[in-house]
Amino acid sequence: MRFLCAAGRKAAICAGASQIALMASPRRLRCGMEIKMKIEDKEQDRKILRQHAETIIQKTIADVLPDRAVRKALEGLNLQGRVFVLAVGKAAWVMAEAAGDWLGTRLEKGLVVTKYGHAKGMIPRFSVIESGHPVPDENSVRAGRDAVHFVQEAEEGDTVLFLLSGGGSALLELPEEGLSLSDIQDVTGQLLRCGAEITEINLIRKKLSAIKGGKLAGYLKTAKAYSIILSDVVGGSEDMIASGLTYPDNSNPQEACCIVDKYGLKLPEHVENVLIRNAGAMKRSETGRVENHVVGSVRELCRAAARHAKELGYHPYLLTDSMEGEAKREGERLALLADSLDYKRPFALIAGGETVVKVTGKGLGGRNQELALSASRFLDGKKNVLLFSLGSDGTDGPTDAAGGMVDGETAGKLRALGLDIEEMLRENDAYHALQAVGGLIITGATGTNVNDVALLLRT
Which pLDDT tens digit goes with each residue over 396-439?
999 999 999 999 999 999 999 999 999 999 999 999 999 999 99
Which pLDDT tens digit goes with each residue over 122-156?
999 999 999 999 999 999 999 999 999 999 999 99
- Average of per-residue pLDDT across 184-207: 94
Q: Has residue 27 got a pLDDT over 80? A: no
Query: CA-CA distances (angstroms) from residue 457 to 328, 371, 396, 420, 437?
Result: 19, 15, 21, 25, 19
* Per-residue confidence (pLDDT) for residue 237, from 0 to 100: 77
Confidence of residue 25 (pLDDT cuts 50, 70, 90): very low
Residue 450, class by beta-carbon neighbours within 10 Å (0-12 exposed, 13-18 middle, 19+ buried)? Answer: buried
Which pLDDT tens digit goes with each residue over 298-331?
999 999 999 999 999 999 999 999 999 999 999 9
* Per-residue confidence (pLDDT) for residue 179, from 0 to 100: 97
Domains in the chain, ordered, with CATH?
A: 2-8+46-63+299-458 (3.40.1480.10), 67-296 (3.40.50.10180)
Contacting residues for 75 by C-beta, under 8 A, at least 6 apart: none
Q: Has residue 285 got a pLDDT over 60? A: no
Per DSSP, 337 falls in state T
Q: Which amino acid is at 71?
A: R
Q: Has residue 229 got a pLDDT over 90? A: yes
Which pLDDT tens digit goes with each residue over 189-199?
999 999 999 88
DSSP 221-239: -SSEEEEEEE--STTS-GG
Cα 430 from chain centroid (whole Å): 16
Q: Has residue 249 got a pLDDT over 90? A: no
Furthest CA-CA distance within the chain: 91
Confidence of residue 39 (pLDDT cuts 50, 70, 90): low
The fraction of the chain above a pLDDT of 70, given in percent, is 88
- Average of per-residue pLDDT across 246-273: 91
* Per-residue confidence (pLDDT) for residue 254, from 0 to 100: 85
Helix (H) or strand (E) holding 259: helix 253-263
Per DSSP, 360 falls in state -
Confidence of residue 29 (pLDDT cuts 50, 70, 90): very low
- Euclidean distance between the first and final Cα of the chain, in Å? 25
The fraction of the chain above a pLDDT of 90, given in percent, is 79
* Per-residue confidence (pLDDT) for residue 41, from 0 to 100: 66
Q: What is the rounded distance in angstroms from the CA atom of residue 34 to the CA atom of residue 11?
A: 14
* Per-residue confidence (pLDDT) for residue 3, from 0 to 100: 46
Which pLDDT tens digit goes with each residue over 76-102?
999 999 999 999 999 999 999 999 999
Query: CA-CA distances (angstroms) from residue 195 to 201, 320, 367, 371?
Result: 10, 21, 10, 14
Query: CA-CA distances (angstroms) from residue 447 to 88, 171, 317, 424?
Result: 12, 15, 27, 31
Per DSSP, 209 falls in state B
454 SS3 class: strand
Q: Which amino acid is at 62?
A: A
**How, if at all, do strands 83-88 and 107-115 pair?**
parallel
* Per-residue confidence (pLDDT) for residue 252, from 0 to 100: 77
Q: Has residue 37 got a pLDDT over 80? A: no
- Of 267, 252, 244, give the one whose Cα is nearest residue 179: 267
Cα 399 from chain centroid (whole Å): 12
Contacting residues for 306 by C-beta, under 8 A, at least 6 apart: 316, 318, 348, 350
DSSP 41-103: HHHHHHHHHHHHHHHHHHHHHHHT-SHHHHHHHHHT----SSEEEEEESTTHHHHHHHHHHHH
Confidence of residue 286 (pLDDT cuts 50, 70, 90): low
Q: Has residue 366 got a pLDDT over 50? A: yes
Q: Is the peptide bond before 134 cis (omega within 30 degrees of 0)?
A: yes
Confidence of residue 23 (pLDDT cuts 50, 70, 90): very low
Confidence of residue 223 (pLDDT cuts 50, 70, 90): confident
